[in-house]
Homo-oligomer: A and B are copies of this chain.
């Protein structure tokens, strides 16, 4: 239906739209896609011709309903494949993104449906990110950054904000994974670092760490 490149642009615009009330800028897309602004302009015209984006010269773009629907379907495929790789093929959560970037472009509605069923209809991917349903709705979950908790509070790890390999490997090394309970024992106001308990282990983490971990509080 759409080329890999078109799909990647739609996905990038979709993600950028969540952080800007205005239309998404050409430069923002260029940075996200690791490409040049002029290439973005070219593609925006093509996507506009296909009614996937609303594009006005110099004003940035927004996705049309069709564009949103398409982007959600690609994100759905990406995250379902990530679940597959972790749950069925024993990949670790820092290895799956690159492969899912390829698998998300495989076109077969039946394949996605069967995969979804095979995985028992997961609602969240290995990084805690929501998997949109077929109609494009994203499951919501109350979650807060670990950095916002006060001493004495605790919660269950349900997601990561930073999904870089180095961060994920750090978490692995320290026994932090989705589903793990984390309690804040003490907070150092000077630098925002936290003393926390992960399982039975006590450790101290920086603000950078705590502001990239999502918890579900009770």
Interface residues of A (CB under 8 A from B): 85, 88-91, 95, 98-99, 102-103, 106-108, 110-111, 114-115, 118
The answer for the CA separation of A20 and B108 in the assembled complex, in Å, is 35
- Chain B residue at minimum C-beta to C-beta distance from A117: B89
Shortest distance between the CB of A45 and any CB in chain B (Å): 25
Please state the number of chain copies in the assembly: 2
Secondary structure type dominating chain A contacts? helix
Contact assessment for A91 and B106 in the assembled complex, using a CB-CB cutoff below 8 Å: no
Contact assessment for A114 and B89 in the assembled complex, using a CB-CB cutoff below 8 Å: yes
Among B99, B111, B118, point to the contact of A99 (Cβ < 8 A): B111
The answer for the CA separation of A39 and B103 in the assembled complex, in Å, is 28
Contact assessment for A89 and B106 in the assembled complex, using a CB-CB cutoff below 8 Å: no
**With a CB–CB cut-off of 8 A, which chain B residues contact A114?**
89-91
**With a CB–CB cut-off of 8 A, which chain B residues contact A88?**
88, 118
**With a CB–CB cut-off of 8 A, which chain B residues contact A118?**
88-89
- Chain B residue at minimum C-beta to C-beta distance from A95: B110
Contact assessment for B102 and A106 in the assembled complex, using a CB-CB cutoff below 8 Å: yes
**With a CB–CB cut-off of 8 A, which chain B residues contact A85?**
111
